[in-house]
Amino acid sequence: MINMSTTPAKRIVHLTSVHLPFDVRIFHKECKTLARVGYEVVLIAPYKQDETVDGVRIRAVPEPRNKWDRIAHTIWQMYRAACCEDAKICHFHDPELILIGLLLKLRGKSVVYDVHEDVPQQIFSKQWIPSFLRPLVSRAVYALETFAAQRFDGIAAATNTIAGRFEKMNSRTITLHNWPLGREFEEFAATPFSADQEVIRVGYFGSIAEDRGAIVMLDATLRLNRRIPAALVLAGPFSSKECRKNLENHPGWKYVEYLGVLNREQVLEQLARLDIGIDVPAPLPRRMVALPTKVFEFMAAGLPFVAANFPIVSSVIDEHHCGIEVDPTNSQEVVDAILWLAQHQSEARSMGVKGREAALAKFRWEQETKKLTLLYEDILQGG
């Protein structure tokens, strides 16, 4: 095994064209972990400027005007930037960079594909692709992923289900669960249902979109306020300008407290002010097997939560009694779950405590770091 304390720093490059440079999985978990163990880490991403943050050097490429500009120009700017770096490993995070990964492989780089989603399944929910073309596009993406995975040096999959597909194609496939950063939550816990509060605060932090449950949450908040005073606290980017306009025109929007896009410190600060967490995305096939990071962050923060009755969440709730599962298409079930928690505050706080204990013991990123460093060591030793 490589002893990083005695060998020279090894430069590695992470690339993302879709995510923000300070994405939690990419920057706060993977890049910072690798920098701490001695790698020289460069993150290439669309951003306003070059800078070094927490030991990670961000190499900025111009921010694209839109999706098509990103595909036509940004990914090639990222490729040129990666070629200029004398990197041992190039680790990319978006399926649209698969071709770039193959080109970097041809240039002699070791390449890792970080698979955040089941992309062939994800295609079926892409509204910008005509519905009649989606099956064809999905099959084409599956074929491209298969071809590329057999040639890449490693695969880091976000869930066991995704890893199971790639293990057949690449022996260096690991599951890198997107668990919360345990150290962030060890120093604080939320205190839901303070005695002097007048309004129940229900929170969702993440990408805001209709297929991520935005309409259901607004419908539920509108109905909820006919029974008790409640605020829906939202933070994160909207999926589109049209989505934002539609949501702001919803009658439930008057009960929304929108916080904008928060940095990591602000997320933790706002989590501490919530009473209940909520995550009720639409039951799309790819989400039925996805790892709901928001839920595990609610648990780590000590919050009871209402979540979609998908398999991973259901198994966690059944084992740890830390939340309430609902049909994510039924806003009345969401209302009933929130009302129950608000009317049984002692039991709700107990759910928060149990969830926190489970998260800090079992579901934390620190348990995943060894997998990532061992993957890199294996690649570097294997050539």
Q: What is the pLDDT of residues 175-189, one digit of tens each?
A: 999 999 999 999 888
Percent of the chain with pLDDT over 70: 97
pLDDT digits (tens, 9 = 90+) for 15-37: 999 998 999 999 999 999 999 99
pTM score, whole prediction: 0.88
Q: Does residue 72 register a pLDDT over 60?
A: yes
pLDDT digits (tens, 9 = 90+) for 214-272: 999 999 999 999 999 999 999 999 988 999 999 999 999 999 999 999 999 999 999 99
Confidence of residue 2 (pLDDT cuts 50, 70, 90): very low
Angle (nearest 5°) at CA 346 between 341 and 352: 70
Q: Which letter does DSSP use for residue 127 in this model?
A: T
Look at residues 83, 91, 78, 81 and name the one whose alpha carbon lies nearest to residue 13.
Answer: 91
| The pair of three-digit structure tokens given for residue 27, joined into one six-digit string | 């920057």
Q: Give 217-222 contacts, CB < 8 A, sequence gap 24+.
A: 217/252, 217/278, 217/280, 217/334, 218/247, 218/250, 218/252, 218/253, 218/256, 219/252, 219/331, 220/252, 220/331, 220/332, 220/334, 220/335, 220/338, 221/252, 221/255, 221/256, 222/250, 222/251, 222/252, 222/255
Q: Does residue 174 register a pLDDT over 90?
A: yes
Q: Does residue 292 register a pLDDT over 60?
A: yes
Instruction: State the Cα–Cα distance between residues 315 and 309, nearest whole angstrom.
Output: 9
Instruction: State the Cα–Cα distance between residues 275 and 277, nearest whole angstrom.
Output: 7
Q: Does residue 8 register a pLDDT over 50?
A: no
Confidence of residue 382 (pLDDT cuts 50, 70, 90): confident
Going from the N-terminus, what domains does the chain have, and what CATH number goes with each? 11-177+368-382 (3.40.50.2000), 182-362 (3.40.50.2000)
Confidence of residue 383 (pLDDT cuts 50, 70, 90): low
The HSE-up count of residue 351 (CA atoms within 13 Å, CB side) is 28
Percent of the chain with pLDDT over 90: 85
Mean pLDDT of 119-139: 89
How much is the pLDDT for 255? 98
- The residues, ordered by sequence, that sit 6+ positions from 109 with a Cβ below 8 Å of its Cβ are 82, 87, 88, 89, 90
**157 membership: H or E segment, kind and range:** strand 154-157
Q: What is the mean pLDDT of the chain?
A: 93
How much is the pLDDT for 284? 86
